[in-house]
Structure 1
Amino acid sequence: MSDTKSEAAEASQVVISKQGDTMKLSPYTLFSSDNPGSMITSVHLKGDNYNEWSLEMLNALCAKKKSGFVDGSLPQPEEGDVNLESWLSVNSMIVGWIRTSIEPRVRSTVTFITNAHKLWENLKQRFAVGNKVKVHQLMEQLASCRQNGEPVIDYFGKLSIKWEEMQTYRPSPPCTCTAARIYEKEREDERVHQFIMGLDDSRFGNVVSSIIEADELPDIGKVYAKVIREEARLDSAKTREHTQDVVGFATRRDTNTDDQSARRDSREGSVSQGGRADFSSGRARDRVCSHCGKTGHDKNTCWQLIGYPEWMTERGGGRGGRGSNRGGGRGFNSGRGRGITSNIAHATTPHVSTVADLTPEQLKAITQIIQDKQSGSSEKLSGPFYEDYDWSR
């Protein structure tokens, strides 16, 4: 009688324990923080996710050493057994955990069953009916899954999710003999083939060929590592090519800019040598002639000193002017009329774009020919502009 009391006392001490106590856990151990409304898993049973929910729930119960209450390996003790009270207490706790993990909408359709094992089997019977259809859908998704240019880690992640889900519907047989290892190797090879079949052939064709040609397929971990290394090598080569293209483009742009600057400077030099002021250039616009005081040219290219081009008399025409030659240089006419022509030439120069680029020597030669041709004639300037001009200024 005393032995029975001591066993009951020991059992009661095992059932409820304070957290932090160092003791050997048993299926009947409960902590002070345990209550039927606790969530021991983050996954809720929604109806169509039974396999995911059942795996998470079993894992949590195994961590607490209470999986025997739902799989039937720890049945209810007989009447008079010292562990009966402890078993009933833990069983009620597990029933509360199961019902708490079911969504309220689904829970309202579940019959209240006080036995944890019977409740577990009832849920399995109700919500695990579509396994064959789900397996077919998963196999179809695995067969059509392709990388399509995305990173290898993302592509492999999608496959891993489907493999894990398939494992819940088609678990490995509970066998520990040699046949179990053979079966596991076949499943591993099947995953390797599914993985390399979906890789982009343009990038990983060589790697896939080397894997297939091997005498024995490596496991999925080694295959994944090999593909990741190849991806890193290809990305590095692509980055290096892009950097070279950018440097080449910058070099070509700088070269083109230098060529344009050289051509612009050459044009400005030609204009200065030909006696024309390029007013579209800021450099020419800032120049001031020390002889006539006008902008756009300097003393070396002043028409009053080196002479006027032929187009000046052709456009002006008419008689010669009066007065003296202020510049004292060579020109088409003497007197004040040439000064008027000079003013007109400098005023219209920005709009003249058809005059050929001539050297000072060529301009001098042309001026001499025109002077010889016009010698003795003073009626070279005519037209409304010259007739109306105030010659007394």
Structure 2
Amino acid sequence: MGSGAEADLKITPNGGTPLGLSSAEGASLVLVSEKFNGTNYREWAQSVRLAVGGRGKLGLISGTSKPPDASDSAALVKWETDNSLVASWLVNSMTPQIRRSFMFLPTARDIWDAVKESYSDGEDGARIYDLKTRSWQIKQGERDLTEFWLELVSVWQEIDLNIETEWSCPSDAARYKRLIEDERVFQFLAGLHQSLDDVRSRILARSPLPSTRDAFAEVRREASRRKVMLPGISSTLPSSEVSALVSRQSDQGQKESRGKVVCEHCRKTGHSKDKCWDLHGKPPDWKPRKGKSRGYQTTSDSTSDKSGSAPDKSGTLPIIDKDQLNKLLEMLHSLQSNQSPPSHNASVAKQGSLIGEDDWQC
């Protein structure tokens, strides 16, 4: 192992140098994916804050990290090293045209303040007014819930970038943040589709109100449930009507399932094998429905029979009993024995789905 200048460059077991710098914290480190070009100050500044703060050196650009006294040479060397490192990160995150204006400033704080003074619009009242107005006017409409939420969140974030508030009292800062959070919950609920009235009422009834993220998660779960229950319909109906539709669909499904029962014996629908009349006969208490009584009918090619009975409009003669049928058969046999041509072509059929042993069919 060497000494002197070589000792200053040795790497410690945890991957750092004697000055506490990680091997990944070189001057060529790329802080942000999109470099500052003079028109994207707010996005660039927020990205730099996150990157520098994540490496424990945010105080060098915020001004809270002051240079130590010259008598403490070790601490002063470390501070100057960290300052130069952060300054190199800042200028390397700018386009070549922009960095020329700031690379000769002495400290990282000087570079940061100079960029802010040159390119920050500060609290632009007109811009803030426009953003706040938009946040109340954004509505879900017929859009997907997530699309509506993301648009609203992007406006809120831009408002936060335009309003920089510093609080001396932490409790006041927490109270102010809670007020802003409640206001944004109201904005989110006010923009929801009317079909989500039920979940909106449940959230408003809670005390205290949930955070905006919790409110979104609850509404998203309700919207997902509605899509599963009634796809293509639930997104446009109030929750009370959705529940009614779900109930009606369930009842209809049960009716359809009953109507699709097929008997294994006769292959007819509407009953099962254990209730088939072919196998077990009619129930003892069975009664024919009105207008569905069984009997015998005759149809004729003529408009009336010999007795003068006129058929109805469908061409069907009135229902006759067995005595009348026997007399008609005797008349037909008599005509055939006399070799007289029959005056009627009759067909006899039985109403109903079954034909017994004592039933007659022509």
TM-score bucket (shorter structure): 0.5 to 0.7
Q: Does 1:50 align with 2:41?
A: yes
Residue identity matched to 1:31: S
Post-superposition Cα deviations, 1:234-288, rounded to whole Å, max 9, x if no partner, equal 21232397997xx99xx9xxxxxxxxxxxxxxxxxxxxxxxxxxxxxxxxxxxxx
Aligned with residue 227 of structure 1, among 193, 211, 219: 219
Stretches of structure 2 that go unaligned for 5 or more consecutive residues are 235-245, 257-344, 346-362
Match in the other structure for 2:119:
127
Decide whether aligned partners of structure 1 residues 107 and 32 sit closer, same or farther in structure 2, where only a CA change above 3 A counts.
same
Query: How far 1:231 moved relative to its partner?
Result: 0.7
Q: TM-score scaled by structure 1?
A: 0.51
Query: How far 1:149 moved relative to its partner?
Result: 1.7
For 1:192 and 1:155, the matched residues in 2 are separated by 14
Match in the other structure for 2:11:
18
For 1:92 and 1:171, the matched residues in 2 are separated by 27
Aligned with residue 182 of structure 2, among 183, 186, 189: 189
Post-superposition Cα deviations, 1:196-226, rounded to whole Å, max 9, x if no partner, equal 111112x112322333344543322332222
Match in the other structure for 1:143:
136
Decide whether aligned partners of structure 1 residues 207 and 111 sit closer, same or farther in structure 2, where only a CA change above 3 A counts.
same
Aligned with residue 217 of structure 1, among 199, 209, 216: 209
For the Cα contact (< 8 Å) 2:15–2:23, is it kept in 1?
no
Match in the other structure for 1:167:
160
Q: Which has the larger radius of gyration?
A: 1
For the Cα contact (< 8 Å) 1:17–1:31, is it kept in 2?
no
Post-superposition Cα deviations, 1:89-146, rounded to whole Å, max 9, x if no partner, equal 3222211110111123433444631321111111111122243243233213212211
Choose between structure 1 and 2 for higher RCO, CA contacts under 8 A separated by at least 6 residues. Answer: 1
Match in the other structure for 1:76:
67
Aligned with residue 205 of structure 1, among 190, 197, 200: 197
Stretches of structure 1 that go unaligned for 5 or more consecutive residues are 1-8, 252-360, 362-393
Decide whether aligned partners of structure 1 residues 184 and 16 sit closer, same or farther in structure 2, where only a CA change above 3 A counts.
farther
Question: Matched residue pairs, number?
Answer: 239
Decide whether aligned partners of structure 1 residues 240 and 192 sit closer, same or farther in structure 2, where only a CA change above 3 A counts.
closer
Query: How far 1:67 moved relative to its partner?
Result: 1.9
User: Superposition RMSD on alpha carbons, in Å?
Assistant: 3.8
Decide whether aligned partners of structure 1 residues 185 and 87 sit closer, same or farther in structure 2, where only a CA change above 3 A counts.
closer
For the Cα contact (< 8 Å) 2:185–2:212, is it kept in 1?
yes
Match in the other structure for 2:96:
104
For 2:164 and 2:20, the matched residues in 1 are separated by 30
Decide whether aligned partners of structure 1 residues 227 and 76 sit closer, same or farther in structure 2, where only a CA change above 3 A counts.
same
For 2:149 and 2:10, the matched residues in 1 are separated by 45
Decide whether aligned partners of structure 1 residues 138 and 118 sit closer, same or farther in structure 2, where only a CA change above 3 A counts.
same
For 2:164 and 2:221, the matched residues in 1 are separated by 32
For 1:160 and 1:141, the matched residues in 2 are separated by 11
For 2:62 and 2:23, the matched residues in 1 are separated by 25
Decide whether aligned partners of structure 1 residues 134 and 102 sit closer, same or farther in structure 2, where only a CA change above 3 A counts.
farther
Aligned positions of 1:212-291 closer than 5 A: 212-239=204-231
For the Cα contact (< 8 Å) 1:38–1:97, is it kept in 2?
yes
For the Cα contact (< 8 Å) 1:18–1:31, is it kept in 2?
no
Query: How far 1:177 moved relative to its partner?
Result: 4.3
Query: How far 1:154 moved relative to its partner?
Result: 2.1
Post-superposition Cα deviations, 1:1-20, rounded to whole Å, max 9, x if no partner, equal xxxxxxxx9xx98x866376
Q: Percent identity?
A: 24
- The 3-state SS of whatever aligns with 2:230 is helix
Decide whether aligned partners of structure 1 residues 190 and 95 sit closer, same or farther in structure 2, where only a CA change above 3 A counts.
same
